[in-house]
Amino acid sequence: MSVRRTERPLIVPIFIPNMGCPRRCIFCQQEKITAQSNRAVNGRYVKETIDQAIKSPRFDSCREREVAFYGGTFTSLSINRMTELLEAVNPYLRQGFFGSIRVSTRPDEIDDKRLDLIKGFGVSTVELGVQSMDDEVLRLSQRGHTVRDTFESVNLLKRHGFKVGIQLMPGLPGDSQEIFDRTIEEVIRLRPDIARLYPAIVINGTELARWYHDKKYEPLTLEEAIRICQESCIRLESKGIRVIRIGLMSSPSLLQEGQIVAGPWHKSFGFLVRSSIHQKMIEPYLLKPGQASKIGLRAPSREVSVIRGYKNRGLRLIEAKTGAKIVHIKPDDSVPSGQVRVDVINFESIRQ
């Protein structure tokens, strides 16, 4: 699996926490995740958000640009509300500020009429909150949809010409390594365009938090979640399914003391996973223990940080594998992507 060099699109997110959602899932606390109250979002708010984004110095007109509605069940909104929100974006599409729109929804909340409507307004990508491809995990998580709903909705979206995203949540009640492995197998069968991996986190005020306090639920450890997401990411991307996010996004309200009760939360979770994946990629190019006592590393400039890892965790792992002290790591773009070159600085033969 090669390191991806494609530039990420610039996405302006518009959060609609729980709007359109027919139920509250056991793990859900959208207001804290998005740092936004559960007030109804209208067309005026959409325009204000987009205007603010366009005026920002970080708005890059050279990148692919997209408006995205997150945090609710978009296609379960009323026809009038969907039309209002999408019409608010439409002038910015006509003027060339953005090329498309994406929305998030549930697998059981789409039909031909609604898909025709949103496609007419420029929606090109629909992400489905699938979470699991195991019906018992879905039942315990109070999702209210089934695996069959997911298969049917993905097929329907493809018939309408949408790009399809799948959002998955390892570590839910009833889940396991084996069950989530099967979830990944089923997702690969579906052939979506993109995927997201969000390990389940216990957030204060959720039903899952009550289960945790009552000892009815045990979340994944950080290391377990990293391993599961690492393996899942490798499998998905080896089949051409881009994993565009790993780990729950943070917000000021979510990071307040006591809001994250338990689970594999880390502010740099995605980086931890990507770094662990890269460690597996470069392992064949490392020295064996005893071949050197001090080494230097050279790698493509864009991959130096992921080799270092979070707080140099990656370098410490390489030292443990090789038994050699890393004296330096230097950018060298003559090194092929996904590889590393080792400079032996001080060779010491193994004493008999």
Residue range of the domain that includes 213: 10-267
40 found inside a domain: yes
Residue (of 80, 81, 63, 62) closest to 72 by Cα position? 81
| pLDDT at 232 exceeding the cut of 50 | yes
**Are both 307 and 241 inside the same structural domain?**
no
What confidence tens digit (pLDDT) does each residue in 149-170 have? 999 999 999 999 999 999 999 9
Residue 274 is assigned to a structural domain of this protein: no
Where among 236, 267, 298 does a domain terminate?
267
Q: How far is CA 349 from CA 195, 290, 325, in A?
A: 47, 7, 15
The SS3 assignment for 146 reads coil
Alpha helices in 257-312 (DSSP H): 269-282, 304-308
C-alpha distance from residue 206 to each of 202, 253, 254, 256, 260 (Å): 8, 15, 13, 16, 11
Q: Which amino acid is at 45?
A: Y
Same domain for 315 and 234: no
Q: Do residues 195 and 167 lie in contact, with contact meaning Cβ atoms separated by under 8 Å?
A: yes
170 with 294, same domain: the answer is: no
Q: Provide the 8-state DSSP code for 260.
A: E
Judgement on whether residues 209 and 60 belong to the same structural domain of the protein:
yes
Q: What is the pLDDT of residue 3?
A: 43
This prediction's pTM? 0.88
Q: What is the DSSP letter of 14?
A: E
pLDDT tens for each residue of 49-108? 999 999 998 888 778 899 999 988 999 999 999 999 999 999 999 999 999 999 999 999
